[in-house]
Every structure is written in structure tokens, then in C-alpha cells.
Structure 1
Amino acid sequence: MLKSFFTLIAASLLLVQTAGAAETVKLALIDPLTGPMAGAGQPALEHLKFEAKRINANGGIAGKQLEIVGLDNKVNPQESLVQLQKAIDDGIQYVTQGNGSSVASALIGAVEKHNQRNPGKEVLYLNYAAVDPSFTNERCSFWHFRFDANADMKMNALTNYIAENKDVKKVYLINQDYSFGHAVSEAARKMLAEKRPDIEIVGNDFHPLAKVKDFTPYISKIQSSGADAVISGNWGQDITLLVKAAAEFGLDAPFYTYYGASSGVVTQLGDKGVDRIYQINEYYGDFEDEEMAKRQVNMYKETGWDFYYLRLSTMLDMFKKAADKAGSTDPVAVAKAMEGLSLETTTGEVVMRAEDHQIQLPMFISVMQDDMEYGAEGTDYNFHKVARIDRDDVTLPTTCRMRRPK
């Protein structure tokens, strides 16, 4: 009798655990959470957790509560594969990542192989910031969705803006030495030659990812080149230390960047960054939308990190909309529902292009300013909008020939 009693209790506990698991959908963030690039991964993790609360308060993902799981990859592709397998072993079917296209490349390949070998246990990869153009062109995958404009889309918008500035006649390129950095450099050279053939590229440097502690030698070369402007796709500590060295050296040339508003930039530069650091992004710091402004303030109060990754909010909202549309959290059903899905956001309507799973969205060029109503990192500095690029003007064609599951 006693044995039967304990058997019944154990069975009841198992049922409770199973029911609890069924009411939760987990999303694993595979990004640098320690080390020199943690300043890029940690705010993403906190942003996801902050926005998951809002999602859960509004019905969750197809009725299930969203749980965010952080997995530290140290920006290492091999470690990322270890963390991906850990997520899979824990039954997680949704992963996200953004910092490092070398990592994204490894994840795309691994997710493809896993899904081929494990039908019914598929994993979906939601990419929020790895912007190598190949991922939605020749390497496009049904299991990969990108929620950020790719490097070519960003450079197309940025060079349109630069081309209109007749004072810019000499440009220096400095980027991280891996696939993304080379994509930025190639796009800049090609697009400037087409739009402003009179502009001279006076330097094209590549440096190791997350290895340079002092960028002064690079800044000295830029100064000697007589550059009127600098273009850089650097992110994480590499953009923070780069612009800091420029300010300390006294380089006056403006920086046109992909990630100039990254964590640490405004506190490192202060007045020296005003009117000098430009960024092309889906977001800027002085939003007119009252609800967005409130979320900016609340996130900083709750987490100590700024509301920087608007695309993460868009990603979760689109995930929710797709799952609710499918009536399921099954990755295959969600992926099919997400294709061609549109979403109204603070900045306008965004669309997940079915052809290549590349989001189409409006972009903004902004510049660092002082005396901002919503300051970044507890300061009075933030990024002020100087140009809006409509979604149709951001869009570029794709060479994707996607293979879809039957």
C-alpha cells in the first residue's frame, strides 16, 4: 500500500512537471556574455528578458509563457556549436544570436544538419544582428530568419547619405578582419565608386576581432591620410575603443558607423562625440513615440542597460504573431507563418520577405548629440535622427534559392 502511494505521488509530480513544461516556450540566446565582447551580448540578454515580460503579460507565445535562456559563446564559433547542442539537449527549439557573422555561419550549418537528421525535433534560428549578406543570398536557409538589415542594405543607405555631402572627398575604411568586416569594406568601395566616383578611398584597414587594446596606431594612419570621413562596421569593444582613440588623438573626421551607439560609446566620448559619431540603424535615441520613450526609461531603470536593440522587440513581436497565427509553437509551423508576415512597429511597417527570410524595414541615420531628453547610459547624450530611409529604399534584391521542407 505504501509503495503504491509513493508511486502515485511520483506520477502526479511527473504530470505536473510535464504540464509546466508544456506551458513554456524557451528561446536560447547564444552570444558573448563574458569577456571583452560581453558589452554586446549582455544588453541583448537583458533586452530579451525585459521584453519577454511584456509578451507574457499579453498572452505569451501561442498561449505559452516565453522563457529566455542565456548561453555564453565567447564569440567563438566552436563554443557556439557546443552551446547549441546544449540547448537542443535541453529541448529548446528556438535559438537567437547576433554578435559575429562567423558564429552565425556555424549556427546556420549546424541547424540545417540537425533538422535534416531529426524530423519532428526541428530548431529555428532567429538572427537579430549577424549581417553578412550571404546568409539571405547564396546561403539562405528555411531555418534562418534575419531581423536586422544586412550589411549591403545598411551600406546602401549610408553611402546615399555620404554621397550628398560634397565636403567628403577622402574616405578611410577600418573594419574587423572576418567575413562581416570584409563585406562592409567591399560594399563601401563598390557603392561609393558608383555614387561618388570622385571620392578617394585613402585607406582600407582590417584588424583582429576583439584583440586590439589601443587603436592609436590606426588613428595615426587615418590622420596622415587626410581622410574627410571614416566608415566602420566595428561592433562591441572594437567600436568603443576605436572612437575613444580618435577622440583622444584629436581626429576631427566624422565616423559613419553601423554600431556607433553601442554600449560604452557615449560615456567614453562625452562632448568629443557630439556631431561626429553617426550610425545607420533601425533605431535612434530621441523617439517621439511616448510608449517607446517610456520603455526606454523603464528598461534602463530595471536592467542598467539602454534600450538599444529595437530589432529584438520586433523579433519577439513577430515570433508571437507567427505562433498565434499558426496556433502552435512548432518551429515548422511558426516558420511557415512567419514568411511574408508584416508587423506595424514604432518606426513603421516591417515585412519578413518570404523569398529569403530577410526582414524589410525602414532605417535611420542618427548622430550623437548632447542635452537629449532621453539620455543614454545615464548621461545627457544620445543619438538624434538626421535622416529616415523608407523601407522600399532600404530593400535590395536577393539571389536566394531556398529549399523548403515538404
Structure 2
Amino acid sequence: MKLTMKIVAAAAMMMAASLSFAQKGETVKMVRIDALSGLLGPVGASQIKGYQFFAEKFSGAGNPAGVKFEITAIDNKLSPAESLNALKAAIDQGARYIVQGNGSSVALALSDAITKHNERNPGKEVMYLNDSAVDPDLTNSKCSYWHFRFDADTSMKMEAMSSFMTDQKDIKKVYLLNQNYSHGHQVAKYAKESLARKRPDIQFVGEDLHPLAQTRDFAPYIAKIKASGADTVITGNWGSDLSLLIKAANENGYNGKFFTYYTGVTGTPAALGNNGAGRIYQIAYNHYNMGGQMDKWMKEFKAKYNDDFYTGSTIRIYEMLGAAMAKAKSTDPVKVAAAMEGMKVKSFNGEVEMRKTDHQLQQPLYMSVWQKADAKYPYSPENTGMTLVPLKEYPNYISSTPTSCQMKRPS
């Protein structure tokens, strides 16, 4: 009897051990649905290189679960409708991890579609990893259990940005210029709310919304900004919509400050060139001179692709996926999602936490400014001889904002 019990116990221990590493060596298929063509295509093309680069770094022994990450891309042409077709194709190909970021209108469509898919297809659930779409609604009124955001949302970035602007006494008149979709609307909304609270003396002297990724000449907008007397522009523009805006400002003699979210993104450094030193600011969760391991990765990435890596949320997605799969002892999105809720990991700039209540990553933010590269801050994006110099770090508790999310979890 004792011998039988020992054999049973040993068998149970062996089974538990095998289950603990059931996913070791398994390939995790991921599909990124984002623009690879059109005016904003260069951003998506650069970012998929980052995913493929770090898939190699974090596969196998690079993550605690021992899984292999494999990622492919589908061009959605920045269209919500195209994205839904791409989602169906990705699921048909067996992908259970969907990645996206460029365009909150796309993100809202994907989040809704994935939630409905999972409700209708138990056992075939899909998890949505958002690297860049920052509309606060995604983790508030329209939050989904299957959506996890690794960027800081618009309200978080504006909380840090407005705190910095509070101390800039030369800022007196602000112009709001943004893309005409959910993200642009939210940037304007939170800018007005937060500055009214922190610097009620600042005047908003103009506000414009323009079509997303369609405007090729921003000179008319610059003329309006100059006529308004604005000393500062706040914009959430990204990609060509920011690089062409900055180009028009330089060509038409506007010398005011720009407070941005995406100065470091493809195309904008080249558009800035040597201009804008000391007056183009960026609020973000990373910058080009983070130091340590990030510096090594960025140099290696540039040597391999002749391109600049700037989407640090890519790294955090792999870090958290590996940790959650190890904790769940599974690659099943249902178990991985449950394991990722509330998870904390050490990342390239300290500890970050996936807040359980709304699946919004809590992380530090940095205010940086466009300056000439030097020995202390040497990284030069797009070989401009310039860089983003960090001015101030805002720890998690400062950049964090409350959530109204009422999370509906699977039974």
C-alpha cells in the first residue's frame, strides 16, 4: 500500500512538472494589424522590424516560459474596415495574439470585434495587445477584458505634459492642432481640462482639427497659428501629420514651442533636422537616450536595419507575455489574460504594472526636448546630429489617472 502511494505521488509530481513546462518550446503566433502603406506606412514598417527583432531576443531562453515568438504583419491601410478583415484572416491562420497600435479608431473597432468573437467562440479566444493607440475610452467606458494597453493613454501623457508646462512661465497663449479622429479630440479635451486646473492664466487662442493622414501642406495652419499670436502649439499628431507640420513651421517662420507626443517617430526627426532646438518637446514612456540595455539594443537595431527603434512598448509586450505564460503554465489566451492582470515586471526603465481594473500599463513618463547630440546624449535619430534630451521623469504615481472601467470578466 505504501509503495503504491509512493508511486502515485511520484507520478503526480512528474505530471505536475511536465504541466509546468507544457508550453516550453511552443511557438506563439502573433499578427500585427497596422498600416504598411500610405502616408503613415513608414511608421508601421519600422515598427514591425522592431517586433521581429525582439521576437528573436525574447524567444526561448529569453523568456521564463521558454516559448518561441513568431510575428507577421497585415496591412490595414489605417482603415477600421480593413482591420476587421485582417482580424478574420489572422484568426483563420491560427493566430490567437493580435497586436495593433496606430490609430485609436482602428483600436476601438478591433477591441469590440475581438470581444464579440471571444463571446461567440469559447475555446478559440483571442487576446489583443495594444502598443500605441491611446484613446482613454479603451480603458474606460469601452474597456474590454481581452484588451491590454502598453502605451500610456492620452490623459496620462497630458497629466505629465501639463505638469511640465505649469513651470514654463513664458507659455501664455496656446494653439491646439490635432488630427480629426478620437485621439486628436482627446488630446484637445485633456489639454484644456488639465491646463485650466494647473495654469488658468494660459489662454487658448485657437483650435483646429484636420483629416488623418491626408494633409500634405500645413502652411495654411501655420499661418493661422501665427495670426493667433500663439507662443505654443499642443499637438497629438504623429507620422507624416507631424513631420509635415514641423516642416511647414520651419519653412514659414513660426518659432513658437511645440509640445508633442511623437517627435521621435519615423520621419519627424528628419523633418526637424537642425531646426527646433530647445523648442520641440515630447512626452513619452521612453526616449532615445535611456541608457543601459536599451542603448545596446538600439545600436544593434540600427546596425541591422539602418533604422531607429522607438516603440518601447514592443519590449514590454514580450516581457509580460513571457512572464504571464510562465505564471499560467499555458499559452492559452484565457489563462494568459488572467495571469497578466495586475502583473508587475522589471522593464528597461524600472517596474511597470498592468493595472487589473482596466488593463492599462502603469509606467514612468519622460519629458524630453530636441537638442544637438553630444557625449552625454549621443543617439542621433535619422542621422540628424540631433537627439531628444531628457528633462524630467514622471514616476508611475504622477502619470497615473483614474479609470471608470467596469470590467466584464469571463465566467
TM over 0.5: yes
2-side partners of 1:377 and 1:260: how far apart?
Answer: 12
Q: Following superposition, which runs of at least 4 residues in structure 1 exceed 2 angstroms of deviation?
A: 57-64
The corresponding residue for 1:251 is 254
What is the identity, as a one-letter code, of the residue corresponding to 2:187?
A: V
Shift of 1:288: 2.8
The question of whether the paired residues in 2 share the 8 Å contact of 1:55 and 1:61 is answered with: no
- Distance, in Å, in 2 between the alignment partners of 1:332 and 1:127 is 17
* Percent identity for Structure 1 against Structure 2: 47
2:381 & 2:53 partners in 1: Cα distance?
A: 17
Separation of aligned partners in 2, 1:74 and 1:337: 33
Structure 1 residue aligned with 2:282: 279
Which of the numbers 295, 301, 304 marks the counterpart of 1:299? 301
CA distance in 1, matches of 2:149, 2:26: 27
* Map of 1:172 onto structure 2: 175
2:376 equivalent to 1:376: no
Equivalent residues of 1:266, 1:273 under 8 A apart: no
Decide which moves more: 299-308 or 75-84.
299-308
How many residues are paired up? 387
Query: What is the aligned counterpart of 1:242 among 234, 238, 245?
Result: 245
CA deviations on 1:64-111 (whole Å, 9 max, x unpaired) are: 311011110010000000000000000100001000000001101100
Q: Secondary structure at the match of 1:272?
A: coil
Is the aligned partner of 1:358 residue 2:363? Answer: no
Rounded Cα–Cα distance in structure 1 between residues aligned with 2:263 and 2:383: 17
The residue aligned with 2:99 is: 96
Residue correspondence of structure 1 range 121-200 to structure 2 within 5 A: 121-200=124-203
Question: 1:218 & 1:275 partners in 2: Cα distance?
Answer: 22
- Residue 286 of structure 1: CA displacement? 1.7
Structure 2: distance between partners of 1:61 and 1:119? 27
Unaligned stretches of 5+ in structure 1? 1-21
Structure 1 residue 116 corresponds to structure 2 residue 119: yes
Structure 2 residue matching 1:162: 3-state secondary structure:
helix
Map of 1:16 onto structure 2: none
Matches of 2:32 and 2:63, distance apart in 1: 18
Question: In the alignment, which residue of structure 2 is the partner of 1:395?
Answer: 400
What residue is the counterpart of 1:3 in the other structure? Answer: none
2: CA distance, partners of 1:68 / 1:173: 37
Deviations 1:283-327 (A, max 9, x none): 1112232x2111111101112221201111111111111111111
Q: Are residues 61 and 208 of structure 1, via their aligned partners in 2, closer, same or farther at CA, if it must alter by over 3 Å?
A: farther
* Residue 23 (structure 1) aligned with residue 22 (structure 2): no
Per-residue deviation at 1:213? 0.2
Residues in 1 aligned to 2:64 and 2:352: alpha-carbon distance in whole angstroms: 20
What residue in structure 1 maps to residue 320 of structure 2?
318
User: What's the offset of the Cα at 1:260?
Assistant: 1.3
User: How far apart are the structure 2 equivalents of 1:260 and 1:379?
Assistant: 13
2:283–2:368 Cα contact (<8 Å) kept: yes
**Equivalents in 2 of 1:364, 1:126: separation in Å?**
23
Contact 1:44 1:309 in 2 (8 A): yes
Q: TM-score, normalised by structure 1?
A: 0.93
CA contact (8 A) 1:60 1:66 kept: no
Task: Tell me whether 105-114 or 297-306 shows the greater mean CA deviation.
Answer: 297-306
Letter in 1 for 2:353: V
1:60 Cα deviation (Å)?
5.1
Instruction: Indicate the residue corresponding to 2:5 in structure 1.
Output: none
5+ unaligned residues in a row in structure 2: which ranges? 1-24
Q: State how far apart, in whole Å, the 2-side matches of 1:63 and 1:327 are.
A: 11
Shift of 1:57: 4.8
Structure 2 residue identity aligned to 1:361: Q
Instruction: Report how far residue 379 of structure 1 moved.
Output: 3.1
In structure 1, distance between residues paired with 2:75 and 2:344: 32
| 1:59–1:263 Cα change, 3 Å | closer
Q: CA RMSD in A?
A: 1.6
Q: Does residue 55 in structure 1 map to residue 50 in structure 2? A: no
- Counterpart of 1:270? 273
CA contact (8 A) 1:366 1:387 kept: yes
Partner Cα separation in structure 2 for residue 241 and residue 59 of structure 1: 39
In structure 1, C-alpha distance between the alignment counterparts of 2:259 and 2:110, rounded to whole Å: 29
Match of 2:390 among 373, 385, 390: 385
Letter in 2 for 1:260: T
Q: Deviations 1:326-378 (Å, cap 9, x if unpaired)?
A: 11110011000100100111211100000000000000000111124111123
In structure 2, C-alpha distance between the alignment counterparts of 1:64 and 1:252, rounded to whole Å: 51
The answer to whether structure 1 residue 260 and structure 2 residue 257 are counterparts is no
SS in 2 for 1:271: coil
Tell me which residue corresponds to 1:84: 87
Corresponding residue of 1:207: 210
Q: Find the residue that maps to 2:81 and give its secondary structure.
A: helix
Q: Map of 1:326-345 to 2, 5 A cutoff?
A: 326-345=328-347
Q: CA deviation at 1:59?
A: 4.7
| CA distance in structure 2 between the aligned counterparts of 1:307 and 1:374, rounded to whole angstroms | 11
Who is 2:35 aligned against?
Answer: 32
For 1:297 and 1:211, the matched residues in 2 are separated by: 33
What is the aligned counterpart of 1:226 among 226, 229, 237? 229
Q: Distance in 1 between matches of 2:114 and 2:398?
A: 32
Q: Deviations over 1:222-244 (max 9, x none)?
A: 01111111000001110111111
- Give the letter for the 2:333 counterpart: P
